[in-house]
Amino acid sequence: GPHSSPMRSSRPCLGGGRPLLGLEAARSAAARNGGECLSTEYRDSRAPLRWRCAQGHEWQSSLNNVRNRGTWCVQCIWEARRLGLETAVEVATARGGQCISDRYRNNSTRLRWRCAEGHEWDATLSSIKNGGSWCPTCVADGLRLTIEIARDAAQARGGLCLSSQYESSHTRLHWRCAEGHAWHASLNSIRSHETWCPYCAGTARLSIDVAQRVAKARGGSCLSTHYLNARGHLRWRCAEGHEWSASMTGVKSSGTWCPFCSSRKRESEIRGIFEAIFAGHAFPTRRPDFPRTGPRSRLELDGYCAPLRLAFEYNGEQHYWQGHYFHTRTTGSFSAQVKRDRCKLALCAVAGIRLLVIPYAVKDVWGFVRLGLLQWFPVSTVFGISLAA
């Protein structure tokens, strides 16, 4: 029968668990996956065997799982998914948008994306990254909307569009209402959000006094003396003395405040994750001797544990966006940032330091960190469990 004892018959039969034929089948299955079967004994197709993939990861699984169910190295699968999600985040950020999915399986996985205009859609990573596609709504708007449509939209509201050129749906145009009020807004906001004159609607621009009151309520101050509009950038200072630029809308309506303090808070949260996974080990911010860029210059690591030779970096928005306010005051600041990031990765690699970079757009930080750590540490360490049968 299919489950008879492997020692009762000399006739080789895989289903019956013949040792020699079973091991040959296991080795063939491993070879097809670019790996090897390390076991020297075979009982039956459901008994666990020892396997090693091309990357050197080892685990236990039955021949039935590998040959019939198509399973292979779990660590490689997790690593591919982590890298895929990280790539998706970087690609979206480079286009001024976001990848809002938190799971990635393979290149045919449809992920959820959001552009700078707030449009959302589903598409595969390969179509975005290799096909060069992006927001289908913005593309349609760009083809459809013209300055004539802007003038028609203004006329329908009893006003005028004073602009003479149209570039895209998010380009700010000049408008005038029937009462003579003039302001700037995108055609997309006029047509899609049905906004019109902010003065007539009672939402005219906030004064610099309001900006100063908002800053004071947060324990800081507004350093600007002139106010253009709700989207114009003002200069702010927090209670810790950090200075940055942001719009009144961003601070008052969106509830954001000091990005430096916010970055420190996120770093602290990530540090807590690492110290929870590696109990008894600390990950303080350090400037070790190894990442030197000059005789006196040492790059800082957000978290570094020397005994584990493991470090992490939390990369805020300024690491991916040239238009970030961090880069507005110094020419070449963004290029220098990118160069420092690459240099830090290279120096850590040379020094044998395992550096995990966590982008600001990652939502499931716990999952991202765990998947990242699997490239260096076993599942039992990262998850506190063993996959061995």
Tokens in use for 129? 């990254």
What share of the chain has pLDDT > 90, as a percent?
A: 21
Indicate the average pLDDT of the chain: 80
> Long-range contacts: 283-286, Cβ < 8 Å, 24+?
283/310, 283/311, 283/312
DSSP code of residue 225: -
Whole-number pLDDT of residue 212: 87
Burial, 204: exposed, middle or buried (Cβ in 10 Å; 0-12, 13-18, 19+)? middle
Higher-confidence residue of 355 and 187: namely 355
Task: Compare 9 and 294 and report the one with higher pLDDT.
Answer: 294
Closest CA to 226 of 214, 211, 239: 211
pLDDT tens per residue, range 139-161: 766 655 578 888 888 998 889 99
What percent of the chain is predicted at pLDDT more than 70?
A: 81
Is residue 386 scored above 60 in pLDDT?
A: no
Of the pLDDT bands very low, low, confident and very high (cuts 50, 70, 90), residue 9 is very low
Structure confidence by residue, pLDDT tens digits, 224-247: 877 666 667 788 899 888 887 888
| Model pTM score | 0.42
Q: Who has greater pLDDT, 54 or 167?
A: 54
pLDDT band at 368 (very low <50, low <70, confident <90, very high): very high
Name the residue among 234, 159, 168 with its Cα closest to residue 201. 159
- Model confidence at 283: pLDDT above 90: yes
Q: How far apart are CA 231 and CA 247, in angstroms?
A: 5
What single-letter DSSP state applies at residue 178? T
Q: Which tens digits make up the pLDDT trace of 68-110?
A: 877 888 888 777 777 778 888 888 888 888 888 877 777 778 8
What pLDDT, on the 0 to 100 scale, is given for residue 294? 55
247 with 232: CB under 8 angstroms? yes
